[in-house]
Every structure is written in structure tokens, then in C-alpha cells.
Structure 1
Amino acid sequence: MTIPTKTDLGEMTAAELSALFSTGKASPVEAARAALDRIERFNPAVNAFAHVVPESAMAEARASETRWAKGEALGPLDGAPTTIKELTAVVGIPWRRGSNLTDTAPAQHEILVVKRLRAAGAVLLGTTTSPEFGWKGVTHGPAFGNTLNPWRTDRASGGSSGGAAVAAALNMGVLHEGSDGAGSIRIPGSWSGVFGIKPTFGWLPADAASPLMQLAHRGPLTRTVEDSALFLNAVTGPSPDALYGDCPAPVPDWLEATKGGVKGLRIGYSRTFGYASVAPDVAAAVERAADRLAGMGAIVEEVHPGFASPLEALRVLWFAAESVIVDRFARDDAHRARMDPGLVAIAEIGRRFSAQEFLAAEHVRAELKVTMARFHERYDALLSPTMPITALEAGIDFPEGEGMTDWTDWSPFTYPFNMTGQPAVSVPCGFDGGGLPIGVQFVAARFRDDIVLRLSSAYQAAYPEAFPAAPVIV
């Protein structure tokens, strides 16, 4: 690990900060102050945080500073300024989940991903925004308002890990926990211009009950692939508390997995999956990314992955799960009136699905897993756009007048791989004509997260994209 040449701690990555901490050239206290300063300066323009906890963050940073001084650091993430998505409970912070119907008292429990980050020494700055109960791919809702795109504040950040993605883009902290049930790490990663990975379901055991069950993955959003690998090293591994999924052994060293380059990897490139429409600027940027990878030695072949759109099956699974959540918190019409109307609407649809319809959707999911497993007998990875469009206008769920009925209509590339449980990432690969980020998606076979990390790391090293110096206020 090389010592960075940057001088502003607030601009540094987790890996760069760790290098400085190890030599005593900077301290976790200074890094925490720098991150909190960026939150104070930038967050009013973008609204990425639900709660900020400077007092406890500074206490954690001082404890980390002491460990580094004694040569007893807990690992490379000791002292790393970190945020947690507001859907994830954190002791001492109200667990609102973007809703006006949840408890405003500080949470008394937290789940495995937070416990493992604490065990690695991460300094928790606060919680980042989500739409109500994470139900959609944009981040605005009744409890915390609208989270805005750092590249243009009249545009959406994406969601449901919108606050995490915006915090990553502006380096308001260096590690940002997110969750992804149908694209909720990759959508905001693409629209906000950062790296995000939805790991294979199982590497990070799911110890929190959820009606989404194995659709809902947790993972990081960061500026660099290296930082996400460090995050995964801290949080992956088996647990007896896992409710869903299994974690195989041994667990790879994810930082080591980023190495090796792309030469010889067989990549199937699909422009549309055979059913999606893609904006010209997005198509051109992803085409360029495919050409670049071929130039780096990958074997890139244009091919469709071989499945029809599984959208209707996804909606059965998704809407049914959301109906369970709504019914848990909204006991009457007065409660429902305080919720996001779009969430209430899809819950009503989900409530009407029969058991037979739910089982039919599960069968579609099972067949999709087989189709992709066969695809990966021929190809190491699938390459596609992450999103078919760049960021929507802020504050809307879907464009009017285009035949759409909900947000899932405009995210055709993400949710198939929640249904299969495969690793999928979004890597920045350019900008559209209006200066909005574009992401390219890499997908690999289940438990081959090493391949998407290798691809992403090599691509980012060869073709790094810019990050915003400050929110672009429009």
C-alpha cells in the first residue's frame, strides 16, 4: 500500500487513510473531523443523511487513534469514517426506515453487518437516507424528504441507497453500507457516479428478518473498488445467526481478488438483454467500455443472456413483500395517509396476489438461476448498462406519459440478479451530454465475486472517472 500524495484527508480513500494511520502521518481523529466537515458543508445541498452523530463518531475516532498509537489497530479499516443506510438499525440512532410511522427513540440493537464493521474499527458517522422502507429506486419520502444528485441537484440520486451513493460521491465518509433488493446499490451507484457491489447472497449472512428474504442483499458503495474490497473483507463470512442463505468456506481475500487484470476473461456483452430500450448516450458509453475491455485483453462477444423480461415475476415477489411491511406498520387509513402513496399503492396490488401466483413467480426465479448458470459455463461475466437512462428529474417516481406504472419499468438491468442471487456491480464509465454519470454493470456466477472485482478494479485503474468536488446546485 503506497502513501498517498493527496493532502486533504477529506478527499482520501479508506486505503489511503489506513496507510497514513499506520505511519502516524495522520490520525483517525483528523479523518473523522474532515468527514464531518464535509457533511456540514455539502449535506445541506443534497440531503444524504437521516442522522449524523458527531459526538459518538469522535469518541470512536479517539479510541481508534489510541489503538494505532499502541500498534494495536484492528485492521486496515480501523478509524475509517463510515455510514450506514437508514434501513439498517444502529444502536444509539433512531431506526426510522424513511417512515413517519416508526419509533423515534434510539435503536437498542443492530445486525451483523454493523457489528462486524464496529469490530473492524470503523467510525460510524451516522445513517444515510432511503425511501420509505426502501421500496423504490429513487430516494424521496415522507420522513426525510428528497435526496439530490451531487452532479446536478435538480436530478434524482437513485435509490434506495441514495443517501449512501451521494455520500460516497462527495466523500462524506469513505465506506457506505447499502442494501439492494432490486437494484438499490447499483441504481444510485450508476446515477451518482460511484462504485457499488451487490455481493452474492450468502457471503454476508442475512440475520435480519425481511419479507424480501433472499432478494435483499447488503453491500458497499465507495469511490474505489479497493475500498469496497476492504469493506467486504470486514463483513463477509459465515454466522450461526443467518436466517437466509449459506456462506461457503473458505471466504476469499477480496482485496487480493481485485488483482489479476482482465486478460483472457470471456465477457458476454448484451446491449439490451433483448427487451430494454437504452438512451443513446448510455449505449455509447457502455459500448466504449466493452471496446476498452477488449483492448485490455478480455474476450468480448456480443450475446443476449437468454431470458425474457422477468419483471412481472419480480413485481409479484416485490409487491407481496411490501404489502407485508405496510400492513405491519399501517393499521388503518390514518396511518396509510402518512405513508408514501406509491408504496401504499403497490402494497394494495401485492395484497391481492394468490399463493399460486407467488409460487409461479418463484418458479420464474428458479428458471432464471438455471439460465444464468448455463450462461456462465460459457462466459466469466456478463456486461450491460447498469441503467438504461441517466438520472431522472428529482422528486418523481417515474416519467409521465411514457407508459410506465412504477419505478421498476425504468430499471430493467438490475433486478434479474437479485432474483438469481448473483454478484453484480456498477462501475462509472462516463457521462452523458448533460454531465450526468453513466454506469456499466458486470455480473458473474454465484460466489464468483472475485471476477466482478477483478474486472471493476482493472477497468477503474485504466479509466478512472471524476468525482464531484462539491454539489452542483441547479
Structure 2
Amino acid sequence: MNMMEKTDLGEMTAAQLSELFASGKASPVEAAKASLARIEKFNPSVNAFAYVVPELALAEAKASEARWKKGEPLSPIDGAPTTIKELTPVKGIPWRRGSVLGATTPSEKEFLIMERLRGAGVTILGTTTSPEFGWKGVTHGPAFGNTLNPWRTDRASGGSSGGAAVAAALNMGVLHEGSDGAGSIRIPASFCGAFGIKPTYGWIPSDTPTALFELAHRGPLTRTVEDAALFMNATTGPTPKAMYGYSPTPVPNWHEGINAASVKGVKIGYSRNLGYAEVQPDVAAAVERAAQRLADMGAIIEEIDPGFSNPQDALLALWYAAEARTVEMVNPTEEQKKLMDPGLIRIYEKGKTYSAIDYVTAEQVRADLKVTMALFHEKYDALMLPTMPTTAIEAGVDFPGGIEGKDWSDWSPFTYPFNMTGQPAVSVPCGFDAGGLPIGLQFVGPRFRDDIVLALAAAYQAAYPEDVLSAPRLG
């Protein structure tokens, strides 16, 4: 569907809604109602929401409407229908965290990212699904069932921001907060045909303890790069409350940066597989086609691998230790453990066996990886590679094909290295496989140069927009 021909508010982007609110041609209340209607219509097929809060949403939309009428919006995304991943607490909504051990009473606290989104005036529609404590790259578990891929509902949405990506793909709201500790924004963006960015660690500060430390980035999932840039304008910047990482000043205007997006003369290192992973032929062909398109648009493309070996073992030491600590903090009884995701319990047990020396050794791998990539970016503005080696796997499994491997991250080799380095990484849709499932193209930039990857993705999306869904496709 052509973006310019839209008349249905539910099909609009955040940027388009902003223009309509400013001109008085539509109101935030109408936009909220359109989004809530889409949730009511589509969500039963995909299970993307943990909670939907129509009363709270309409009250916030009314307040936004009054601000626009006065000509005093808090930001361009004032009134934008927005969802929050259930790992982030939202006042008035139980902080479920994908777990039977999550809260059942409305939260009274919020994190800094929520304070900033509230400061921008967004309308919160509800919270989107995550696997238990966000532990894996697919969104299903014993407590709350399975979040399904809207392009084919017998396939996985990806995770752990699965609900956010599905909501983005179906435009159940226009801005969707997610988080990414090993690929959790980019995996579902790729599987669901949405745009996702894991910003450089530090731009969106973490003001709350996390056992993942600097692996866990928060960021947006949206239909368009432009909407993600508007989300970042509202949420990036330093704070004395930052527990980890660092945010430089001044903060760029991300939205302005993509308006002049051109790939001409941008030097891109193109890696087919990082030198060690296997890629599904349909995916490889789509990424190859994207490389050719970018070259035709004036980018300088050189085929090269960054030159590091698979850092999965180091990632698992950091990840399992963190998940063990997360489970330990909720302190489940033996009876409660039986209600939890068995895969999470397995890595909790494994995580407890790592020594402090194992952890320090893994941290050194991470440090070396940062240097390898920083040296790579001395020569290249960006790295381009597939987001995922495969399109969406079967729904409801941790391992495709029923063959259990070392860890779920076996099938996402292109995402977690860049959590370890803290670099900005995006996934932008670049085609479909033979079965009609979306394929994601990943750009990785130097630390704090999110403007580069946003501009590349914006220019590519403008030149080669992919189809969007008007309803879930049942599989």
C-alpha cells in the first residue's frame, strides 16, 4: 500500500499523525481509537499484547488533544499511539515481565525511558509480550502462550521484543519500545518485517540495575526509520542517573539527520556471514541484491569480514550469569520453578556454575571485540550483513527443526556480537523469501554514530520500500 494514499488513521505513521494533529485534520483521540480498534481486531490472531489499557490511553489522548489545540504540543510525537515492552514498568499496568512470577497489581514506578516518553506526550496503549524475563530470541513460554508472526501465524515472531515487532508490523500503534540484549530488537524486526534500532549503548541511559550491564539496550521498533528517529529524539541524552554507559553531548537531532539521507560516497564493508555462519539461500540473495542496490545508489561497497571469531561462548558466560542473577532476585520456590520456562531454568542452573574467572575472561573477549570493530570503522563507515541467517522459524520452539543446539543464540549469529561492542545496529526490511516471510538487512555503525546507520536505512527504505500488512496472514 502506498503510504501517501492512506486515509485510515490506523495505517498512518507517527510522522504523518504529527502533521495531521498540527493542522487540526485529526486528533490524538481519533488516532488512539483507531489503534485500539486494530488491536481488538488483530491481536486475537497474534497474541502481541500483555495488557491493553483503553481507558488510560484515551485519557492521555484527550490531554494531548488539548495541548495540540492550544498549539502547545510537548513534542512532534505528542499523542502518538505507543506500546511498551512488558519488561519495562508502566504506571497503572502490572509489571508482568513475561513471567508467572511477575506483578499482578498495577505498577507504581517507571524507568527513565518512560519518564522521557511521558515528557514527549505519547499515548500509551498497553504493554507488549516478551518471553520470561526476556531470556531468549523467541516470544513464547508456559505462562502466556505464543506470540505469532503476522506474516504467517504458524511462524515465530522472534524475540524477546516479539510483541513490539508484531505490533509494529500490524500498526497496532506507531511507536513501540523494545529492548535488545543479544538481538532482541533486531531478531523480531527481521522476522516481522519491521524496522528496529539498537542504539549505541549510552544514548538511552539505563537508570536501573540490570544483571546484563551494558549488553541490554533499549530502543524502538516501528514501520519506518523516520518514526524510530522521532522516538530517539524523545529518549536519548545524558542523565546523572545513568548506572552504566555514557551519553555524549550534544545529542544529534536524529530526525533532521535522516531528512538529508544519502548513501553517496558512504564506505560500507559487506560481510556475507562474518566468516563463520551459514545463511539461508533466500536471505543471502536478498542481502546481495540490497548490496547491489546500494552500490547503484552511490555507496562504496567492499566485501570484507571484520575478522573476529564467533564470540558466542563469551556471550553465554555473560548472559547465563545475568539470567541466573535475575531468577535469583525473584527467588522462586521449587513449586514456582515448575511453572517457569524450562529453558530459563536450565540456563539459571548453568549460570550458577560460572566462576568469577570465567566472567572476567568473557569480559576480555568483549573488550577485544570492541577494539576489532573500532579498527574496522577506521576504514569503513558501516558494516552491512544479514540481520538473521534465516527467516522466521516455526512458532513455539526454541530451536528450529527440533534439533537442540548449544543455545538459542546458535541461530542468531549476526546480532549478539554488536551487543558485546555496544555499537548501533539496525534491521531494515529488504525483501521476502519464497514463502513470503520478511528478510532483514543489518547495518552496524561506529559507536555513537547512530546517524550513519539511520541515514543508510532511511535512504534504502525510501528507495526500496517493502510491502506492509493490512491484516495478519493465518498459517
Q: Common fold, TM-score beyond 0.5?
A: yes
Distance 1:145 1:310 in 2: 31
Retained in 1: the 8 A contact 2:267–2:382? yes
User: Whole-Å Cα distance in 1 between the matches of residues 81 and 165 of structure 2?
Assistant: 15
Alpha-carbon distance in 2 for matches of 1:401, 1:252: 45
> Structure 1 residue 24 and structure 2 residue 7: aligned?
no
Structure-2-length-normalised TM-score:
0.98
Tell me the secondary structure at the aligned position of residue 427 of structure 1. strand
- Structure 2 counterpart of 1:397: 398
Letter in 1 for 2:385: S
What code does the residue aligned with 1:112 have? L
Structure 2: distance between partners of 1:146 and 1:330? 25
User: Matches of 1:396 and 1:416 in 2, distance apart?
Assistant: 23
1:251-290 alignment to 2 at 5 Å?
251-258=251-258, 259-290=260-291
1:113-160 deviation line (CA, Å, top 9, x unaligned): 111111101000000000000000000013321000000000000000
CA displacement 1:2-61 (0-9 Å, x = unmatched):
x95421000000000000000000000100000000000000000000000000100000
Q: Which amino acid aligns with 1:80?
A: A
- Which deviations, in whole Å up to 9, do the C-alpha atoms of 1:176-214 show, x marking residues without a partner? 000000000000000000000000000011012100010
* Cα-Cα RMSD: 1.0
TM-score (norm. length: structure 1): 0.98
Q: Deviations over 1:343-399 (max 9, x none)?
A: 000111111011111000000000000000000000000000000000010000002
Q: How does 1:215-254 map to 2 (within 5 A)?
A: 215-254=215-254
Q: Is the 8 A contact 1:326 1:347 kept in 2?
A: yes
Instruction: Map residues 59-70 of structure 1 onto 2, 5 A cutoff.
Output: 59-70=59-70
The residue number in structure 1 matching 2:429 is: 428
2:10 match: secondary structure: helix
Q: Quick one: which amino acid aligns to residue 184 of structure 2?
A: S
Deviates more, 1:328-337 or 1:170-179: 328-337
Partner of 2:194: 194
2:52 is the alignment partner of 1:52: yes
Does structure 1 residue 336 correspond to structure 2 residue 342?
no
C-alpha separation in 1, matches of 2:332 and 2:135: 19
What CA distance in whole angstroms lies between the structure 1 residues aligned with 2:262 and 2:69?
A: 36
Does the residue aligned with 1:124 lie in a helix, a strand or coil?
strand
Instruction: Provide the secondary structure at the position in 2 that maps to 1:101.
Output: coil
CA contact (8 A) 2:427 2:440 kept: yes
Give per-residue Cα distances to partners, 1:320-357, cap 9 Å, x unaligned. 10001112224332121111000000111111011111
Q: What secondary structure sits across from 1:109 in the alignment?
A: coil
Deviation, 1:406, is 2.2
Q: 3-state DSSP class of the match of 1:126? A: strand
Structure 1 distance, partners of 2:332, 2:99, is 14
Counterparts of 2:218 and 2:456 in 1: how far apart (Å)? 20
For the structure 1 residues 399 and 5, does the alpha-carbon distance in structure 2 shift closer, same or farther, using more than 3 Å as the test? closer
Q: How many angstroms does 1:101 deviate by? A: 1.0
Query: Letter of the aligned partner of 1:139 in structure 2?
Result: T
Q: Does the alignment pair 1:117 with 2:117?
A: yes
The yes-or-no answer on 1:6 pairing with 2:6 is yes
Report if aligned partners of 2:261, 2:458 keep a CA contact under 8 Å in 1. Answer: no
SS of residue paired to 2:400: coil
Is the 8 Å Cα contact of residues 82 and 122 (structure 2) preserved in structure 1? yes
Structure 1 Cα separation of the partners of residues 102 and 400 of structure 2? 30
SS at match of 1:127: strand
Please say which of residues 330-339 and 15-24 is displaced more in the overlay.
330-339
CA contact (8 A) 1:98 1:142 kept: no
Partner AA of 2:448 in structure 1: F
Amino acid at match of 1:74: L
Moved over 3 A (4+): 400-403
Count residues in correspondence: 472
State the alpha-carbon separation in 1 of the partners of residues 414 and 239 from structure 2: 31
Q: Quick one: distance in 1 between partners of 2:472 and 2:157?
A: 12
Residue in structure 2 matched with residue 77 of structure 1 by the alignment: 77
Q: Within 5 A, what are the aligned runs for 1:340-419?
A: 340-400=341-401, 402=403, 404-419=405-420
User: Alignment partner of 2:301: what SS?
Assistant: strand
Query: Percent identity, aligned pairs only?
Result: 70
Counterparts in 2 of 1:226 and 1:295: CA distance versus 1, 3 Å: same
Partner AA of 2:297 in structure 1: M
Name the SS for the 1:426 alignment partner: strand
Unaligned runs of 5+ in 2: none
